[in-house]
Chain A
Amino acid sequence: MSQRDLAIRAEGLVKHFKDVKAVDGVDLEVPAGTVYGVLGPNGAGKTTTVRILATLLRPDAGTATVFGRDLHTDAAAVRSQVSLTGQYASLDEDLTGVENLVLLSRLYGYAKPAARERAADLLEAFGLSAAAGKQVKAYSGGMRRRLDIAASIIVTPKLLFLDEPTTGLDPRSRNQVWDVVRTIVAEGTTVLLTTQYLEEADQLAGRIAVIDTGKVIAEGTPGELKSSVGAGSIRVRLHHADQREHAQKVLSGALAVEVALDDDPVALTASLAPGLDTAEQGSHVLGELARAGILVDDFSLGQPSLDEVFLALTNRVDA
């Protein structure tokens, strides 16, 4: 991939805080015009990586360019192309929604009347007009998130960092944020999104880097990552807890894999072997359970969870 098609190229980024290696040699290549997901658990180094790339932190080692501009020697040029929506709302909580946007519009160079107009437009587009005159400290989590993203596109950035944009949001607010991200990337902005949720990365990202203890441990499209881990899993919740051992035998017989008993006393989970058709296996298993006279309350066929992807990837690194 040529330098020009890359929004971000980072090589060997390292950042230590005292004895903690927050980022320990991260390489990234983010293609322009896409959503790139950085997936990992709390403390993996996602936020530190984003802060380095957004010029907020200087790395101890390594280099990175944003659209070909060096983070260190050309920070001002980088800043004029990126926006950041941090993990905690990057807003002034004492000010109202409209005051925040007017202030930032002024700082982007809009004259006062134009700044007011831009702020009102953004509030309307984000469904926040009714709350425009309220102090941000009175906003709900979902509203803050929206205002924060609105602030990030006062001037349409070439690259937008979204650090865990849906952590702590209810499902409705989460879906709205996802819609916003899709709209933003459709208009040509590159988005680098960090998340703890595989589902979110799957829904939005074209490529994903999985990060753990400051290192990228896997990189690829969501499909590639999932198929590298397995075909997914079948989870069954039984009507009667005393049928669980019976169900375990039936399932492991039908699928020829080990079946784990969950902490939930009526549930069990089977990880499917890769390469088989998940849907077919599901129907087959459901039939077998019915034949055995086992009553099922809930039956789900799932893609691998972050836990599974994650455990599989870390195990492979260790092996």
Chain B
Amino acid sequence: MTVTQTDTKSDVDAPAPVEKEHLRRLLATGERPAPPSAFASARAFAWRSMLKIKHVPEQLGDILVFPIIMLLMFTYLFGGAIAGGTGEYLQFLLPGIMVMSIVMTTIYTGMSVNIDINKGVSDRFRTLPIWRAAPMVGYLLADMFRYAAAGAIMFGTGMVMGYRPEGGAVGVLLGVGLLLVFCFAFSWVWTWLGLITRSEKTVMSISMSILFPMTFLSNVMVDPATMPGWLRPVVENTPISQLVDGVRGLFDGNVDSVSVLTTLIWSAGFVAVFGFLTIRAYNRK
């Protein structure tokens, strides 16, 4: 009885024999398609990233649930104390908390890059004749989808809670677009970190110790006008505060073009510096 069961199992598990004639034909075709363009190879990696979400949907959980928790927690916990009412506070908080929670999830990109580089699959990618940045850009493209989904969920939750954007649909779309541009650019910090650190845990702890002060020392939760004089100029000029000003202006229909422009300049800077460092680290691995 036991023997029969074992036999059945091994029959299912054992692969069929290799078909040598078929293999010979496949080898003999000698097809050599033209190498893919930079964009096509990045798109293939983005597809891979989406497949991973399909196979391991749990990974989407933290990314979508975390922003909602942040939004509910800060609105109802601090709203009364900071703004004298949760409704008014939500109107101020929503764009900022959206920036904060989505920027915080950018660290997952660095962790994914680090996990890949420590596995054999990365050796294969690195011996392919493709654009060297493609695996990282592929991750970032798929992440744009995740960020947009997180943004939509936060916005929807905010509307249910009573948030009303004065800037209308166009303002909201432009605001989220600006946020995505910044996240794409800022993620290069983490791809670089992912390549130069030993484990994903290191990536996590280093990036958290940068992101926590960076997102809290900002205008996300409170107006910098309430801060001590020495702190105010520092807080007002961080890239996060500039981004929040830009997004908030677009959402509120009160566009702050200086902040939008400053954010775009910061973004270009991140791509230039950390994109370069990332590719250099990738080539040196």
* A contact residues vs B (CB 8 Å cutoff): 51, 54-56, 58, 76, 79-80, 82-84, 86-96, 99, 103-104, 106-111, 114, 121-122, 124-131, 135, 140, 142-143, 146, 151, 153, 155-156, 176, 179-180, 183-184, 186-187, 189
Contact = CB atoms under 8 A, between A and B. Distances in A.
B124 A179 contact: no
Contact of A109 (B18, B35, B55): B35
Contact of A156 (B13, B30, B124): B30
Contacts of B129: 76, 79-80
B284 A58 contact: yes
A183 B27 contact: yes
B42 to A, nearest CB: 10
A110 B55 contact: no
A98 to B, nearest CB: 11
Interface stretch (B45-53, B249-257, B259-267): B45-53
B139 to A, nearest CB: 13
Interface string B89-123: 00000000000000000000000000000011101
Contacts of B127: 54-56, 79, 82-84
B48 A155 contact: no
Interface of B: 13, 15-20, 22-24, 26-36, 40-41, 44, 47-48, 51-52, 55-56, 119-121, 123-130, 134, 284-285
B201 to A, nearest CB: 19
Contact of B28 (A86, A90, A127, A187): A187
A95 B27 contact: no
Contacts of A155: 31-33
Contacts of A91: 120-121, 124
Given A90-B123, A114-B33, A155-B32, A107 B26 contact: no
A84 B121 CA distance: 11
Nearest to B34: A109
Contact of A125 (B18, B48, B119, B284): B18
Contacts of B19: 124-127
15 contacts: A54-B123, A54-B127, A89-B120, A90-B120, A92-B121, A94-B51, A95-B48, A95-B52, A107-B128, A126-B18, A127-B18, A129-B16, A176-B18, A179-B20, A187-B24
Contact of B124 (A86, A94, A189): A86
A180 B33 contact: no
A9 B17 CA distance: 36
Given A90-B124, A110-B33, A114-B33, A183 B23 contact: yes
The 3 closest A-B pairs by CB, nearest first: A127-B16, A109-B33, A90-B124
Given A121-B26, A135-B55, A128 B15 contact: yes
Nearest to B132: A76
Contact of B20 (A103, A129, A143, A183): A183
Contact of A127 (B15, B31, B51): B15
Contacts of B32: 155
B55 A95 contact: yes
A122 B26 contact: yes
A130 B16 contact: yes
Nearest to B19: A125
A93 B56 CA distance: 11
Contacts of B44: 103, 106-107
Contacts of B128: 79, 104, 107-108
Contacts of A90: 120-121, 123-124
A127 B17 contact: yes
A56 B126 contact: yes
A142 B10 CA distance: 13
B23 A125 contact: yes
